[in-house]
Structure 1
Amino acid sequence: MTEQTLTGRRVAILATDGVEQIELVRPRAAVEEAGATTTLLSLKSGSIQAMNHDVEKGDTFAVEGRVAAKSPDDFDALILPGGTTNPDKLRQDPAAVRFVKDFAATGKPIGVICHGPWTLVEADAVRGRTLTSYPSVRTDIRNAGGIVVDEEVVVDNGLVSSRNPGDLPAFCAKIVEEFAEGRHLAAT
């Protein structure tokens, strides 16, 4: 049994159609097992279609709030799962980009995995930060002023990042730890 370190914490998960299912399900389960309440935010109401390895449809997940109607003040932490289509759609939505940009400015912890950093790049939230990602996203991070390393899990002042689903055990453990620590100094 996981120690209840996140009791009372509210965690937003921002995703849309094309999200990599395991990158949504496993981190959500980890923070919920630690006592957090999660809210799946998306671009639209209804449900979103998850994918397995970007090629096979997975399950659908009920959306619990539209990102355009929410504020970073409503949450204590944020999870940005990957999948190639998911963050590509999110980074094209002004409300999603604004939410992520505003969230990053608060200093509250963020967990991001695989292709998820594309949304952070669009929100100009990687400049001067050290993180990792799926290999095809790394040039975008560098071009946006981020520092890329190739490690299983990287923590930079509350920003937790991992490369791919193979890193989920380390990623999930570290987001629980960082989310329990709470707000970090706001990114400058």
Structure 2
Amino acid sequence: MKTIAFLLHNNFEQAEYEEVNNKLKDKGYKTLLITTNDDKEVQAMNQDVNKGDTFTADIFAKEANTDEYDALVVPGGTVNADTIRGNEQAHSIIKAINDSDKTLAVICHAPWTLINTGIAKGRTLTAYHSLQTDLENAGATFVDETVQVDGNLITSRNPDDIDNFVEAIDKALSK
């Protein structure tokens, strides 16, 4: 059974974790939640402004072993993505997955993390529309598509695209 890790900090977009997680579990994947928080309780948000549910992480980022994961998913949420993009432990996890050519799937504001890790440069990707200039300034080619696959990298725009995002992850892991 393949394992998909989710990397989260407080204020992530609930649908981009919960719906994606549930759909991947329904397809037979094992999932686990990694947090960069100081405790394992991770607060979700809905549309960045309304508090969502609280989820309990399986492990802290400092304990993560990317050799154990077949893929990494980074949900959006403006605050979550902005926090993760400045977190060195998160950078290490994201880079290790990418450098191992494992599936790296990021949605909505999470492509911001690809800028700070250097992964965006030279890649074709999509994201929440307000990130276009940042991503292009980092050397990425931005496309307005529900999902974009560039090698091991899967990007998507927002919660409305979750079904296509999940299908792209499943297809990549079925190879």
Structure-2-length-normalised TM-score: 0.95
Quick one: distance in 2 between partners of 1:111 and 1:46? 22
Match of 2:77 among 80, 83, 89: 83
Q: What does residue 99 of structure 1 align with?
A: 93
**Aligned alpha-carbon RMSD (Å):** 1.0
Indicate conservation of the 8 Å contact 2:12/2:43, yes or no: yes
| Structure 1 residues 139-159: Cα deviation after superposition (integer angstroms, max 9, x where no partner) | 121122111100111111121
Q: How far did residue 46 of structure 1 move?
A: 1.9
Match of 1:51 among 45, 51, 58: 45
Q: How far did residue 36 of structure 1 move?
A: 1.0
Quick one: distance in 1 between partners of 2:109 and 2:66? 22
Q: How does 1:25-174 map to 2 (within 5 A)?
A: 25-44=18-37, 45-174=39-168
Quick one: distance in 2 between partners of 1:50 and 1:156? 28
| Structure 1 residues 94-150: Cα deviation after superposition (integer angstroms, max 9, x where no partner) | 111111112111110111110011112111111111110001111121122111100
Q: How far did residue 40 of structure 1 move?
A: 0.4
Quick one: distance in 1 between partners of 2:133 and 2:115? 11
Indicate conservation of the 8 Å contact 2:98/2:152, yes or no: no
Q: How far did residue 90 of structure 1 move?
A: 0.8
Indicate conservation of the 8 Å contact 2:43/2:52, yes or no: yes
Indicate conservation of the 8 Å contact 2:40/2:59, yes or no: no
Quick one: distance in 2 between partners of 1:97 and 1:143? 19
What SS does the corresponding residue of 2:174 show, helix, strand or coil? helix
Q: Show structure 1 runs of 5+ residues with no match.
A: 1-7, 182-188
Q: What does residue 5 of structure 2 align with?
A: 12
Q: What does residue 178 of structure 1 align with?
A: 172
What SS does the corresponding residue of 1:112 show, helix, strand or coil? strand
Quick one: distance in 2 between partners of 1:103 and 1:86? 19
State the percentage of identical aligned residues: 39
Quick one: distance in 2 between partners of 1:29 and 1:176? 13
What SS does the corresponding residue of 1:98 show, helix, strand or coil? helix
Hey, which of these two has a bigger chunk of strand by percent?
2
Moved beyond 3 Å, runs of 4+ = none
Quick one: distance in 1 between partners of 2:103 and 2:45? 26
Quick one: distance in 2 between partners of 1:143 and 1:100? 20
Q: Which stretch has the larger CA shift, 10-19 or 172-181? A: 172-181
Change (3 A) 1:71 1:144: farther
